[in-house]
Amino acid sequence: MSGVIADVMGGAGRLRLNRPGALHALTLEMVHAMTDALLAWRDDAAVKAVLIDHAEGRGFCAGGDIAFLRESALAGRAEGRRFFHDEYRLNHLLFSYAKPVVAFMDGITMGGGVGISQPARFRIATENTRFAMPETGIGLFPDVGGGWYLSRLPGRVGAYLALTGARLDGAECLSVGLATHYLPAASLEAVKAAIADAPGEIEAILDAHAVAPPAAKLEAQRADIDRLFASDDYEAILAALAADGSAWAAATLKTLQAKSPQTCKVALRQLATSATLPDFAANMVMEYRIASRVLTRPDFIEGVRAVIVDKDHAPRWDPATPQGVTPALLDSIFAPLEQEWTPL
C-alpha cells in the first residue's frame, strides 16, 4: 500500500490520501505514487482535471513523515534529503500542471498538506479546515513552497503565519486567499461527482455550491499583524511586540519565545528572498538548500524530540537566542549546494 489511492473517476483523475492513522502525513512512497499518477495523467486525453482529497478518517494531510526525517538525520543517512528532493518535485509538478487541479482542504492541512494543496488552481476550504505551517515549533522551516505562498499573502500575514505557526480556519483561509472557495463539508462528494461528470465546468460547479463563510476572526488582528510584523528583522518584531502593551501582542510574544530562533530567522529571510524570485522553481532551489542544511542541524532533531517523540514540549534550542543566530550562520544555511535541486 502506497498510502495513496490513484484512480480515474469520469473525466477526472483522483488522488486520495489514505494513511488515516497518521492523519495522511506524506511518506516518500506516497510522494512517488502521486508523482507517477500525475505524470501518467498529464498526457492522457481522457483525464481533464485532477482532484486531491483524503479517503477514510480525518484529513486532509497533517504534513510529512517527521519521525522518519528525524531518524534519517540521527543516523546520518541520505533518505531525509531525498524525501525533500522528491517532495519538492511533486510540489513543482502540481504548480506547473497544465490541467486544472482541485484540492479539498477538508480537515487538518499542515506542512506537506499545504505543499500539495496550494499549487492547485482551486483550493476548497470547509468548516473543518485547520491550516497551519507550524515548523518553527520543531526547528524545521515553512517549506514545500511556503516561501512562495506566504510571501505573497496580503500585508504581513505570511510572516505572522510563518513565525507563529498560527492555525487558520476555513473562513480565514478564504479571507487571505489561501482558499478559492468555501463549501460545506456535506456537499463535497456531490461536488466531486459533478466535476468528474463535467470537468470543463469546475469553476461554475464550485461557485454553485459555495456558501458565505462565517466572519474571519483573523481580520480583527490584520492591522496589528501588519504593524507589529512589519520588519524582516526578527529582533525588531520581538521588540515591537514587547513594546505594544496589548494582550494580543503579549500572547503572540509568548508564542514566539517558545519557537526555534534559528527557524524564525530562516523563515523571515526565506520569505523576503522568495518575494524577489522569478518563478516557483527558483523558490524550490532555495528551499532545498535550506532543507539540506536544517535537516542535520541541532534544532530539528531537538524540536521533533520535544514535540513528537518525548512530548515534553521543552525544546533546548541551539542557538538558544535570536542574537545567537548570526548572519554568517544564515548565510551558510542559504548557500548553494554542490548538487542543486532540479524540477522533473
* CB contact set of 48 (below 8 Å; sequence gap of 6+): 11, 12, 99, 100, 199, 200
What sign does the CA torsion over 272, 159, 286, 330 have? positive
Instruction: Determine whether 340 is an active site residue.
Output: no
Question: Half-sphere exposure of 176 toward its Cβ, with a 13 Å CA cutoff?
Answer: 29
Look at the block and give the residue holding cell 508564542.
Answer: 255
Instruction: Determine whether 112 is an active site residue.
Output: yes
Beta pairing class for 108-110 and 101-105: unpaired
**Is the omega angle on the peptide bond into residue 319 within 30 degrees of 0, that is, cis?**
yes
Return the amino acid letter for 138: I
End-to-end Cα spacing for the chain: 24
DSSP structure string for 53-106: EE-SSS-EE--B-HHHHHHHHHHT-SHHHHHHHHHHHHHHHHHT-SS-EEEEE-
Q: Which residue in the list 87, 106, 143, 172 is annotated as catalytic?
A: 143
CA–CA distance, 222 with 297 (Å, rounded to integer): 34
Instruction: Determine whether 324 is an active site residue.
Output: no
**Residue 309 CB burial class (10 angstroms; 0-12, 13-18, ≥19):** middle
Instruction: Determine whether 64 is an active site residue.
Output: yes
Q: Which residue in the list 59, 64, 146, 158 is annotated as catalytic?
A: 64
Q: Which residue in the list 87, 135, 169, 299 is annotated as catalytic?
A: 135
Catalytic positions, written as ranges:
64, 112, 135, 143
